[in-house]
Copies of this chain bind each other. A is one copy, B any other.
Amino acid sequence: MAFFDKPLDDLRAYRPQPEEPADFDAFWKQTLDAAAAAASEPESVPFDAGLATVEVRDVTFSGWAGQPIKAWLLLPRGRSGPLPAVVQYIGYNGGRGVPWEWLTWSAAGYAHLVVDNRGQGGGGKTTADTPDVAPEGHGSSSPGFLTRGIEDPAKHYYRRLVTDAVRAVDAVKALPEVDPTRVAVLGGSQGGGLALAVAGLRDDLAGAIADVPFLSHYRRASQITDEGPYSEIARYLKGHRFEVEDVMRTLSYFDATNFAARARCPGWFSVALMDKVCPPSTVFAAYHRYGGPAQIEVFPYNGHEGGAAYDTPRKLAALAEVLGPR
């Protein structure tokens, strides 16, 4: 793989000029208020996963425009009351998949909500069960989701997906198995970007864990790598030669560096120095703007897999610190 981004010393000092639209907060307030107004109570039904120690429930909650979003709820059996909850977001092109993929956090004693990605799940890895419904449609886009609706922040795909992610916390707090005062969010890659978005758009979280987060510092991302979903931007602009600034403006509404600046809960980041999917400078750009107390774990010889399961102890400790006993 080899290093391809700035040296680590420079990364630790990297604080690019933010690209933040003036109406960023208004845009999101309007968006989330509308979603809240359209929401109904989450529903959950039992799912037989054939597991002795884990109870699995198939959850449906209200996302963007009140549309139904799927999630898995995994619970340790034999619990004695509401549990603190971990809300997990999933990486790009994937979805909530099947319950056997997500056994860690319920085994650790938490209520664990695995939130689906609308319209994704066709990437050959984890699958999804939630359609993407965008009644007004969208204009020209590269294959993938990053440029879908790029002509207008109001029509952009990530407006819908981020809203779903924010609403997932409302949903988990409304579940009877959950202690609504103790909720943390986490995820890797796109899931990490969504965790940062939710951390920036809500004020009731106990903590946020963002591993090798995506959705950050799009301008540099689109110039420094030709792997992974950031290259969708470059591909789009290869054809749309005269729309660079328009595209960057739309994307700025969905930039994790802007979300991060609004977060107040404790945050844990990780970054991999050989990660061509989410280059380290884009991760440090978000980390350095994070508004709450924050730490970052650096994996020098890893690509986008980052710390993988080998980083679980760090996350168990972080959750124990902010969620308390379970």
Contacts and interface: CB of A to CB of B under 8 A. Distances in A.
B139 A136 contact: no
B119 A139 contact: yes
A136 B78 CA distance: 42
Interface residues of A, number: 84
B144 A140 contact: no
B238 A108 contact: no
A318 B221 CA distance: 34
A3 B223 contact: yes
Interface string A97-108: 110110110111
B238 A302 contact: yes
A82 interface: no
A157 to B, nearest CB: 12
A94 to B, nearest CB: 8
A244 interface: yes
A81 interface: no
A77 interface: yes
Contacts of A307: 241
24 contacts: A2-B225, A3-B223, A51-B107, A52-B107, A53-B53, A95-B140, A98-B312, A100-B312, A103-B104, A119-B139, A122-B147, A123-B143, A124-B238, A124-B239, A127-B239, A128-B140, A132-B137, A133-B135, A133-B136, A134-B134, A135-B137, A239-B310, A241-B307, A242-B310
- List 8 tightest A-B contacts by C-beta distance, closest first: A133-B137, A52-B109, A124-B238, A122-B142, A121-B140, A237-B301, A143-B143, A103-B103
